[in-house]
Chain A
Amino acid sequence: MLKPEKTRFFLPLLAIIPALLGALLLTGCSAPEPPELRQATLLPVAKAVADFRLTDQAGRPFTLDNLKGRWTLAFFGYTHCPDVCPTSMAMLGQVQRNLAKDPSTGELPQVVFFSVDPERDTPELLASFVPYFHDSFIGVTGAADEILKLTRQLGIIYGKVEGSGSDDYLVDHSAAIILFDPEGRFRALFNIPHKPEYIVADLQAIKQYYEATR
């Protein structure tokens, strides 16, 4: 039997325990806040992407399945573009090298250059162009309607510039970099101007958030 002074101590403790447990449960169950990002726009809900059928620089099929199993950074451009595309691709090369130096990175994302100029950008041309920026980079091209099938799901737009020549035409195109999560879903986009250090930091934060909210 408890002595009166011990009871006085024990009873309030009994009352506190459920409250403490409740607080712990609430903390454990509430979703983490979305990360603060420096450049990326994170979609409130990841957007599933319908399948598409394209070709990589080695002539192999490149479909939605190729966006699954790892993170993907995608840029949409064309090899005849002298300014914005090489600038963005060189910047992505820097991102990849910075990520490789960071021990917390884990597996490197795949970086994919999707051509919005399939008339001129053959797999052979992409095979020489894309690895120049980083040997892990993938170049993808294919039928115009299959490229459109993917791009219109992402809000990526492009078009030949009227008035330019038949073979030396320019192409206007969205400059954003798209981030796909390892389930092949559209997760975030990085608008121009791109800074490699911001992209690295935001990518790491988005990955952590993804792991914490699965």
Chain B
Amino acid sequence: MKRILLALTLAACSWLPVAQAEVQVEDAWVREAPPGARMLAAYLTVNNSGAEDLVLVEVQSPAFSHIMLHKSEVVDGVARMVHLDEIVIPAQGSVQLQPGGMHLMMPAPEARPSAGDRVPLVLIFADGNRLEVQADVRKKP
């Protein structure tokens, strides 16, 4: 599994242009899928030290068929998931994707990543810039 992921990562790197210096991504992680679960979630924090707002429009990964930008929200005690077209990271600000809030959602692949694995995520911004990060697969609340 790790070897496949490494190969995929290298393959992914080869088509990646240079990312913006003012964007930093911290604490990117994918929740290990419980057995039987068909959807996974990933979380990360995006810091924008630039003078302009950044707009995250898409996330791709060679490890997943597709990734959606989502937000869980609880309204009157009812949890619902909302699809997001984009996530704006304000200038000189940051946005946290975290359990129970904004997150990335993707179908679990056949070869399910398990705790300890790392998977690449490629963040694509509205201005065309891309940033690749490595997300740890973790089992945690």
Q: Which A residues contact B (CB, under 8 angstroms)?
A: 79-84, 86-87, 89-91, 93-94, 125-126, 128-129, 132-133, 157-158, 161, 168, 170, 172-176, 191-193, 196
Using A83-B103, A87-B141 as known contacts, list a sample of 15 further A-B pairs with CB atoms less than 8 Å apart, ordered by residue number in A. Answer: A79-B38, A80-B37, A82-B31, A82-B103, A84-B72, A84-B81, A86-B34, A90-B140, A125-B36, A129-B35, A157-B78, A170-B81, A175-B77, A176-B77, A192-B79
- Whether B141 contacts A90 by the Cβ 8 Å rule is yes
Q: Is the CB of B37 within 8 A of A83?
A: no
Are B37 and A191 within 8 A (Cβ)? Answer: no
User: Cβ of A83 and Cβ of B81 under 8 Å apart?
Assistant: yes
Given contacts A90-B140, A90-B141, A94-B141, contact A84 B36 (CB under 8 A): no
Contact, CB under 8 Å: A87 / B100: yes
The answer for the CA separation of A79 and B36 in the assembled complex, in Å, is 7
- A129 to B74 CA separation, bound complex (whole angstroms): 24
Pairwise interchain contact A161-B37, C-beta atoms closer than 8 A = no
Contact B74 A175 (CB under 8 A): yes
Q: How far is the CA of A82 from the CA of B101 in the complex (A)?
A: 12
Which of B70, B74, B141 is in CB contact (< 8 Å) with A192?
B74
Given known pairs A82-B41, A83-B100, A172-B80, the reply for A129 and B141 (CB within 8 Å) is no
> Do B100 and A84 touch (CB < 8 A)?
yes
B46 within 8 A of A: no
Count how many pairs of residues, one from A and one from B, have CB atoms less than 8 Å apart in the complex. Answer: 83
Assembled-state Cα–Cα distance A186/B91 (Å) = 49
- Given contacts A82-B103, A83-B99, A83-B100, are A161 and B141 in contact (CB under 8 A)? no
CA distance A155 to B27 in the complex (A): 37
Cβ-defined contact, B78 with A175, below 8 A: yes
User: If A84-B79, A173-B78, A174-B77 touch, does A128 touch B36 (CB 8 Å cutoff)?
Assistant: yes
CB neighbours of B40 from chain A (8 A): 82
Which A residues lie within 8 Å of B34 (CB)? 79, 86, 89, 128-129, 132-133
- B-side contacts of A83, CB under 8 Å: 41, 70, 72, 81, 99-100, 103, 105
Whether B37 contacts A192 by the Cβ 8 Å rule is: no
Closest 10 CB pairs of A and B: A82-B39, A90-B141, A128-B35, A129-B36, A175-B79, A132-B34, A82-B41, A172-B80, A87-B99, A128-B36
Q: By the criterion CB–CB under 8 Å, are B80 and A161 in contact? A: yes
A79 to B41 alpha-carbon distance, docked (Å): 13
Measured between beta carbons, the chain B residues less than 8 angstroms from A91 are: 141
Distance A152 CA – B37 CA, assembled complex (angstroms): 26
CB distance from B88 to the nearest CB of A (A): 20
Chain B residues closer than 8 Å to A172, beta-carbon distance: 78-81
